[in-house]
Amino acid sequence: MMGRGLESRIVKLESRRNRPSEMLVVWRRPDGDVFEALKGVTFTHGDKVICAEWFEDSPLPGPRWHRDRLSQAMTAGEYEQINQTIDRIAKRSETDRTETGFLPFPSFTEARMKEMSDAELIHALLGVPT
C-alpha cells in the first residue's frame, strides 16, 4: 500500500512532465460544465488539454493522453464525438466560448491552418486554459 505522501509526490512529478507532442482529452456530457469536467484531472501549465462532449448514453471515457494523430489514437466512436463537439462549439460566440471555459479562438491565416496538424486544429477549437 502506498502512503498518501508518496502518492501526492508521484502526482506532482507526473504533472510536471512536459508533453509537447501529446494532448489530454477530457470528456463531459453535452452542455456539461467544462470547469466541472476538469476537476481532479492532472495537467500542468502549457499542456494541450481539450474538453469534448460525449453524446452517447454510455459512461464517459476517462481522461487520456493522446499523441498528435488523434484519428489514429482514438476509436472511431471517440473521434466522431470530437467532430460533433467541434460542430457545436464552433457555432458559439467568442464571449460564450470564454465564459464556458474554452480558450478564445486564435487568429490564423489560411496558410498557417494548412500547416497545422489535426490535433493542433482541434486544440484551437476545443482547448481549455492550462
CA distances from 15 to 7, 46, 60, 99, 100 (A): 12, 11, 22, 26, 24
pLDDT digits (tens, 9 = 90+) for 45-56: 889 999 999 999
Q: Is 105 helix (H, G, I), strand (E, B) or coil?
A: coil
Residue 29 has pLDDT above 60, yes or no: yes
- At residue 108, what is the residue type? F
Residue 61 has pLDDT above 90, yes or no: yes
pTM of the model: 0.77
Where do the domains of the chain lie? 23-126
pLDDT digits (tens, 9 = 90+) for 80-126: 999 999 888 777 766 666 667 888 877 888 888 888 888 888 888 89
